[in-house]
Amino acid sequence: MKMTRFMHEHNLAPAVLGYVSENGKDYLLTEALNGEDGIEEAYIMQPERLAEVFGASLSIIHNLPKNDCPLPSRSAEMIAESESNILRGYVDNSIITENFNKAVKRFFELKHLATDDVVIHGDYCLPNIIMKDFRLLGFVDWGTGGIGDRHYDLFWGIWTLRYNLKSDKYRNIFLDAYGRRELDPERLELCRLLAGFTL
């Protein structure tokens, strides 16, 4: 709720109408954004254009001012959660396909690289971008957003394009539209591991 309200102030999320927590479950009611999400057929049928808009839209989020963001330390939180999950043997095998011990070793080698450098969405996937005729209207599902490592969103952007478009060939269009000067392969690898070790 806090992130949705924060992003609404920047015209990148719907207005929050209400929030209820009941029986251990949270319910967030927002206004509707008058558009379609990124997995609508009209967008999927134009994958190059979709990947380009998707990359450019992520750069808009990452260039927001961080000053008033209500969740300032997402990378540290995800690292702590990953370490806890590693101790109990949790791993998402759809993301981390290599040997568990090898992945854990690599995680501990890389974890010091994580930064809290930009406002992140936290679940940057095609169903969470809302557009009208490829014009960005905003984003939904800000529950894991905050200030974190830009590579976490970049990882999920690459992942969702592969998953929803059934191909990895749109990755470069996405990264070019975002801006390759910001890309660090080791931080991207760390964020893949973070995604695989967090729920």
Known catalytic residues are 123
Do 150 and 74 touch, CB atoms closer than 8 A?
A: no
Let me know how many helices (H) and strands (E) the chain has, helices first. Answer: 8, 7
Do 197 and 90 touch, CB atoms closer than 8 A?
A: yes
Alpha-carbon separation of residue 185 from 49, 105, 159 (angstroms): 25, 17, 15
Q: How far apart are CA 89 and CA 132, in angstroms?
A: 43
Residues 6+ apart with CB under 8 A from 174: 51, 52, 54, 55, 157, 158, 161
Q: CA triplet 44, 50, 52: central angle to 5 degrees? A: 160
Q: How far apart are CA 135 and CA 131, in angstroms?
A: 5
